C-alpha cells in the first residue's frame, strides 16, 4: 500500500489540492483499483461491483484508525459499475454511490462507474497559455443547456463543432454550460448534483467532454461551467447522511436544510467538506480544462436567514446573520483557484448587495472575478414590461443601476431563469404589438451591450422565440427563416463584432471614468443617452436609446469632439427588421454647438423603439 499519511493530513486540514488523486477509485499499476472513502462515523464499509457479478464484498479498513477507509480490488476494471455498502453509525445498512466517483450511471440507476485512463490528447496549450487575466479582456457569454440546444444532437462530441461554429459566428467569447456534474433529476437541469467529480453520462464519456472543450478552445471560445456548492439532494444513495450521520450537510437543520428547495446544505465549517468542494472546482479546471466557474446560489450561502422565518435560523457567534463559515469557504475557494488556475473566471450568482464580492480577499472581499447583476436584470425587465404610456413615471429604473455599476465587476445576465416557469420568452416580455415587441427586444440588446458589464444571454436569445424554453425539446431554429427573427440574430452578431472593435465598450467596465451620462432625465420622451470611453480617452461611443414607438426627428446630442461620428449600429435598421426611420448616413458630422455638457454636438433622427451607437476616435492634437 502507498503511504498516504501526507494526503490524509492535508485532507483533514482542508488543503489537499488534488483530492481526486487520493480519494475515490485510484488505478493500480498492475491492474485493478484501490478504493478510498471518507466516512469517519461508519461501522463497516465494503465495495461491491460488476467484477464479481455483485456477489463478493471487499471489506474496507480504516487507515491507521483515521477517518479514511481503503481496500484494493485487483479484479476491478475500468467501465465496471460499483457501490459502497455502508453500515452507518447507528447500524443502518446503506448502498451508497461513491462521492468521488468519476462517472455514474444515469437515473434511475445509481451505481458509480470505474474510470478509464483519459485517452484524449489535448491540443489547447496555446489557448491556456494566453488565457491571461480574466478581468483584462472582453467577456460575452452564451449560456447553453446541452440537452436542448439542438434536438438532434445528444453527445458532447456531436455538439462540439456545431456549437463552436455557432458561437464563433455570433461573436461570443465564452459558452457557459448549465451544470453537467452528474444529477439524477432531469427537470432540475443539473442544479441538484449527486456527482461532484462526474460529468453526466447523459451526453457521453469524460473523454467526450474533453473533446468538446478542446474544440471550443480551438475556435477561440472559453468554457464556463455552472457549479453548485450551495446544496445537494436528499437521495438516500448519495451524499445525504453518508456514514449514518450528517457528514457533508450541517447537523443543525436550521443551517443544513434548504426550506425552498427541499435539499441539504453543506457544512462549510468542516475542513473536509470544504476540501471536497474546492477539490471539485479544481478537478473540472485541471482534468477538463474548464476556463471558469459560475458559482450558483451564492446569496443562499452567505446569509443564515436566507428564505427563513424568525425562528428558522441561528445567528453567528457575533449575533449576526452572516454565514461566517461560507464566507471563509469562498475566500479559500477563490484564493486557491487563483493560485492553481491563473486567469480562471470565478463568477458569483449573488442576488443581494453583499459588499466586495469581486474585491480581493486581502482587501476584505470574496475574491470572485465577476458577479451577476441581478438588480439590473430585474429593473430592466420590469421597466420593459410597463405599458408605453406608463414608462415616463418609471424612467429611473433604468438609470438606477448606474449608481452602483462600478462597485463590482458585473455580468449583465438574461439567463435561462428569465424564460422558464411561466415567465415567457424575452420577446414575449416586451409590450405592444408584434412589431413593437421585436423592436423593444432589439433596443434592449443595443442598450445592454453598451452598458458597463459583460453581457450574458441564454441560448435562443438570438432567434427570439415566442414560446418559453423547455429542456424537453430543441430550440426552434426554423425561425431563422423569418425576417424578424433573423434580424435579431444579425443584430446580436453585429453588437458582438462592434464590442470587439471598440474597446470603449468593455475596457473600463469597472471604472466610473469610462461612463458618462449625456441625458439621464428625459422621461417625457423615454430617451437615454450616454458616452463610453476607452483607456486614456482615445475613443468614445455614444449610445442613444428611445424606448417608445414614437420617433424623434432632428434631435441634438452632445459629443466631445468635432468631425465625423460613425453610426456604428441602429437597431431600427431595415436589415435588422426595423423601420429604417431617418435613413442614417454612415457618418454624422459634429458641430461646434455645446450640448449635454459637451463642447460639440450632432443632430440625429432617433428611431422608434431603438438603440443607436455613434463612435469616433479622438482627433490628433
Give the 3-state secondary structure of residue 291: coil
Cα distance between residue 97 and residue 25, in whole Å: 12
**178 and 231 in contact (C-beta within 8 Å)?**
no
- What is the residue-wise DSSP string for 456-484? EEETTTTT--SSPP-TTS---GGGGGSHH
| Residue in 340, 362, 358, 341 with CA at minimum distance from that of residue 349 | 358
Question: Phi and psi dihedrals of 449, rounded to 5?
Answer: -70, -25
CB atoms within 10 A of CB 511: 12
| Residue in 307, 285, 161, 182 with CA at minimum distance from that of residue 232 | 182
Which residue do the cell numbers 468593455 mark? 506
The set of catalytic residues is: 296, 349
Cα distance between residue 460 and residue 176, in whole Å: 14
**449 and 409 in contact (C-beta within 8 Å)?**
no
β-strands 44-49, 58-59: how paired? antiparallel
What is the DSSP-derived secondary structure letter of residue 105?
A: P
**25 and 84 in contact (C-beta within 8 Å)?**
no
What is the helix, strand, coil percentage profile of the chain, to 5?
Answer: 30, 25, 45
Cα distance between residue 174 and residue 195, in whole Å: 24
| Burial category of 181 from C-beta neighbours within 10 Å (exposed 0-12, middle 13-18, buried 19 and up) | buried
Helix axes 5-13, 271-288, angle to 10 degrees: 110
**353 and 372 in contact (C-beta within 8 Å)?**
no
**104 and 182 in contact (C-beta within 8 Å)?**
yes
Sign of CA dihedral 170, 172, 178, 179: positive
Which residue do the cell numbers 433573423 mark? 486
Cα distance between residue 361 and residue 342, in whole Å: 15
In a 13 Å sphere around the CA of 42, the CA atoms on its Cβ side amount to 27
Sign of CA dihedral 371, 374, 380, 384: positive
- Cα end-to-end span (Å), the chain: 74
- What is the residue-wise DSSP string for 206-246? HHHHHHHHHHHHHTT-EEEEEE--S-B---TTTTTTTTSS-
Give the 3-state secondary structure of residue 485: helix
What is the DSSP-derived secondary structure letter of residue 297?
A: T
| Residue in 101, 99, 82 with CA at minimum distance from that of residue 25 | 101
User: Exposure string (b/e) for 188-211, b if CB count within 10 Å is 16 or more?
Assistant: bbbbbbbbbbbbbbbbbbbbbbbb
In a 13 Å sphere around the CA of 66, the CA atoms on its Cβ side amount to 16
Beta strands (DSSP E) in 54-153 are 58-59, 61-62, 68-73, 81-87, 93-96, 103-104, 112-113, 141-144
Amino acid at each position: 500500500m502507498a503511504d498516504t499519511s501526507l494526503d490524509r493530513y492535508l485532507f483533514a486540514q482542508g488543503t489537499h489540492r488534488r483530492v481526486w488523486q487520493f480519494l475515490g477509485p485510484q488505478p493500480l499499476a498492475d491492474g485493478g483499483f484501490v478504493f478510498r472513502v471518507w466516512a469517519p462515523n461508519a461501522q463497516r464499509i465494503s465495495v461491491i461491483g460488476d467484477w464479481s457479478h455483485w456477489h463478493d464484498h471487499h471489506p474496507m479498513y480504516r487507515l491507521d484508525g483515521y477517518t479514511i477507509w481503503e481496500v484494493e480490488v485487483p479484479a476491478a476494471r475500468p467501465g465496471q459499475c460499483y457501490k459502497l455498502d455502508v453500515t452507518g453509525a447507528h447500524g443502518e445498512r446503506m448502498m451508497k454511490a461513491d462521492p468521488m466517483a468519476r462517472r455514474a450511471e444515469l437515473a434511475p440507476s445509481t451505481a458509480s462507474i470505474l474510470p478509464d485512463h483519459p485517452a484524449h490528447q489535448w491540443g489547447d496549450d496555446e489557448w491556456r497559455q494566453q488565457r491571461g487575466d480574466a478581468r483584462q479582456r472582453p467577456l460575452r457569454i452564451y449560456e447553453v443547456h446541452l440537452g436542448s440546444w439542438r434536438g438532434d444532437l445528444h453527445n458532447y462530441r456531436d455538439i462540439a463543432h456545431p456549437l463552436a461554429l455557432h458561437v464563433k459566428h455570433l461573436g461570443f467569447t465564452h459558452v457557459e454550460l448549465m451544470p453537467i456534474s452528474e444529477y439524477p433529476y432531469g427537470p432540475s437541469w443539473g442544479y441538484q448534483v449527486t456527482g461532484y467529480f462526474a460529468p453526466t453520462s447523459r451526453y457521453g464519456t469524460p473523454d467526450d467532454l474533453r473533446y468538446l472543450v478542446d474544440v471550443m478552445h480551438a475556435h477561440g471560445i472559453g468554457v464556463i461551467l455552472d457549479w453548485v456548492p450551495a446544496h445537494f439532494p436528499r437521495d438516500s444513495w448519495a451524499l445525504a447522511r453518508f456514514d449514518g450521520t450528517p457528514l457533508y450537510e450541517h447537523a443543525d437543520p436550521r443551517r443544513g436544510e434548504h426550506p425552498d428547495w427541499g435539499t441539504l446544505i453543506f457544512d462549510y465549517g468542516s475542513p473536509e467538506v470544504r476540501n471536497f468542494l474546492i477539490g471539485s472546482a479544481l478537478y473540472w479546471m485541471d482534468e477538463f480544462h474548464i476556463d471558469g466557474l459560475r458559482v450558483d446560489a451564492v446569496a443562499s450561502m452567505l446569509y443564515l436567514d436566507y428564505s427563513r422565518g424568525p425562528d428558522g435560523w441561528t445567528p453567528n457567534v457575533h449575533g449576526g446573520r452572516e454565514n461566517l463559515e461560507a464566507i471563509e469557504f469562498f475566500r479559500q475557494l477563490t484564493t486557491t483557484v487563483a493560485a492553481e488556475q491563473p486567469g480562471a473566471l470565478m463568477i458569483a450568482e449573488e442576488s443581494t448587495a453583499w459588499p466586495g464580492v469581486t474585491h480581493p480577499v486581502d482587501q476584505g472581499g470574496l475574491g470572485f472575478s465577476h458577479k451577476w447583476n441581478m438588480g439590473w436584470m430585474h429593473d430592466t425587465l420590469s421597466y420593459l414590461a410597463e405599458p408605453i404610456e406608463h414608462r415616463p413615471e418609471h424612467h429611473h429604473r433604468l438609470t438606477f443601476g448606474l449608481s452602483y455599476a462600478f462597485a463590482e465587476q458585473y455580468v449583465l445576465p438574461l439567463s435561462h431563469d428569465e424564460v422558464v416557469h411561466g415567465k415567457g420568452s424575452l420577446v414575449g416580455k416586451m409590450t405592444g404589438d408584434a412589431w413593437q415587441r421585436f423592436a423593444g427586444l432589439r433596443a434592449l440588446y443595443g442598450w445592454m451591450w453598451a452598458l458597463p458589464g459583460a453581457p450574458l444571454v441564454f441560448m435562443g436569445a438570438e432567434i427570439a422565440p415566442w414560446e418559453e424554453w423547455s429542456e424537453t425539446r430543441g430550440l426552434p431554429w426554423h425561425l431563422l427563416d423569418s425576417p424578424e427573427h433573423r434580424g435579431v440574430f444579425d443584430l446580436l452578431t453585429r453588437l458582438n463584432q462592434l464590442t470587439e472593435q471598440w474597446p470603449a465598450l468593455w475596457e473600463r467596465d469597472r471604472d466610473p471614468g469610462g461612463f458618462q451620462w449625456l441625458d439621464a432625465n428625459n422621461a417625457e420622451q423615454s430617451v437615454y443617452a450616454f458616452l463610453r470611453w476607452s483607456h486614456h480617452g482615445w475613443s468614445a461611443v455614444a449610445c442613444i436609446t428611445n424606448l417608445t414607438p414614437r420617433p424623434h426627428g432632428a434631435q441634438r446630442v452632445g459629443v466631445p469632439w468635432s468631425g465625423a461620428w460613425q453610426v456604428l449600429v441602429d437597431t431600427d435598421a431595415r436589415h435588422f427588421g426595423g423601420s429604417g426611420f431617418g435613413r442614417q448616413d454612415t457618418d454624422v458630422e459634429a458641430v461646434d454647438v455645446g450640448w449635454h455638457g459637451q463642447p460639440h454636438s450632432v443632430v440625429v433622427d432617433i428611431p422608434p423603439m431603438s438603440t443607436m451607437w455613434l463612435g469616433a476616435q479622438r482627433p490628433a492634437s
